[in-house]
Copies of this chain bind each other. A is one copy, B any other.
């Protein structure tokens, strides 16, 4: 395992390193939680988690699309560094559909690899999304266990043009979505969240009994279209199918926290709840809510990038705290290492910062840190303090927009939600997100405020861009031959499919 530089150090909480649980939702928006203003207020467990932990209203993802966001979380690095981006076209979000050739590079160090140094046992439950070819799968990148799928639960497919997505138990598939693992597209019923919940609970129980520190990366995908919920939740929400999925996830979070308590390990388990990107507004009323923010998934406006975020660690994190420091999914890498008492790798640039001063002492030590908003290979925007400067704006192309694909339905801010990739680098659009969280009122370029902000931001951005060494882009090539035709374990099940001849092409990323 090359390049791991971490050395163990004393943990903040003493000798036995704390367990770590990261709950990563899929396409859930900032505005989907009761505590963050969803009018139906159907997340009592998450609201209670916030009331007993710390709410971070200024928490961001690293990319407004799933795969790069998840790669950033597990590596502590921007997608443009860790390779989870494309250079096929300018400023396009890329991800890992079945036809992607690439995935997470062997040169990257993932959180579970680091945690292993202090004896952590790591499990991912749910969607992986860092590549589905054998060398990219979780057990090749530090996870000891996996229950879930490498890709989104799109489908059903006919197994000729396109196989259904496999569900893995560790290194072997045990079935496929829509086959052994049912999702009813008509009724939106599936018991997948219940399965993922049980897998999580079993792992926690087992590792606690074995007295080993654990890292659970719990990544259910019920709120990603096509959304689903199990029978007990189907039709229960005021919000329709999407709300049913949220209710079941909220219930599951409650079950996990309750188990920690009943096992007496809640004081020794750091739990963090967030989402991979903003709500997919393209899904209309079957998608989530980004509250008062502009646009959604795929965009670098607040609706695409700002995430619900709750940190929970009884006895360590002050009950009911709200901290406005800017923080990101990449901080979860660095923070988890700090909690585990492991030095971060020192042979590479990390974008994640250690949040423990914020979490444990409610400090404002990160108040001068910038947050970068990338879309593919382009730095679209930067936030510093309350200000956000847009160097590029783009929602989606006119061609896409005219087919009905709208990342900002019902919203239009002239000159901001542009359908052409618009370069503002010479005179960035600057917003004050405190006064104007909806990014509707660019500050006048003639004002002293604008000039002061520009003067503060410009050198920071210039340094960032000067020093950035982009990683090798991993998401450029596609090939139908690499699809999930014959995943490990398919033989035992008699579920191997015959792949077509290899015929690679440069993937086309419309967003």
Contact B37 A434 (CB under 8 A): no
**A420 lies within 8 A of chain B by Cβ:** no
Q: List 14 A-B contacts (CB under 8 A).
A: A37-B292, A40-B434, A237-B434, A238-B324, A238-B386, A242-B435, A285-B432, A285-B440, A289-B292, A289-B437, A291-B291, A410-B438, A411-B411, A412-B412
Q: Give the CA-CA distance A306 to B292 in the complex, in Å.
A: 15
Is A294 part of the binding interface, using a Cβ–Cβ cutoff of 8 Å? Answer: yes
Residue A284 lies at the interface, judged by CB distance under 8 Å to chain B: yes
**Interface readout for A237-248 with B: 1 if CB under 8 Å, 0 if not?**
111101100000
CA separation between A239 and B434, bound complex, in Å?
A: 4
Q: Interface code A273-289, partner B: CB below 8 Å = 1, 0 otherwise? A: 00000000000111001
Complex contact B40–A324 (CB within 8 A): yes
Among residues of B, the one whose C-beta sits closest to the C-beta of A36 is B37
Most chain B CB neighbours (cut-off 10 Å) among A240, A242, A294: A240
A254 at the interface (CB under 8 A from B): no
* A37-B29 Cα distance, complex, nearest whole Å: 12
Q: Would A410 and B440 be within 8 Å (CB), given that A57-B41, A239-B434, A432-B285 are in contact?
A: yes
- Distance in angstroms between the alpha carbons of A251 and B151 in the assembled complex: 50
B-side contacts of A36, CB under 8 Å:
37
Q: Contacts A386-B238, A410-B440 given: A285-B435 contact, CB under 8 Å?
A: yes
> What 1/0 mask marks residues of chain A from 51 to 68 whose CB sits below 8 Å from any chain B CB?
000010110000000000
| Residues of chain B contacted by A294 (CB below 8 angstroms) | 410
* A39 beta carbon closer than 8 Å to chain B: yes
Q: Is A436 an interface residue (CB 8 A)?
A: yes
Smallest CB–CB gap between A49 and chain B, Å? Answer: 15
A409 at the interface (CB under 8 A from B): yes
Beyond A41-B57, A291-B292, list 17 extra A-B contacts (CB 8 Å): A31-B291, A37-B292, A40-B434, A41-B55, A237-B434, A238-B434, A239-B434, A240-B434, A240-B435, A243-B435, A285-B432, A285-B441, A286-B435, A292-B292, A410-B411, A410-B413, A411-B412
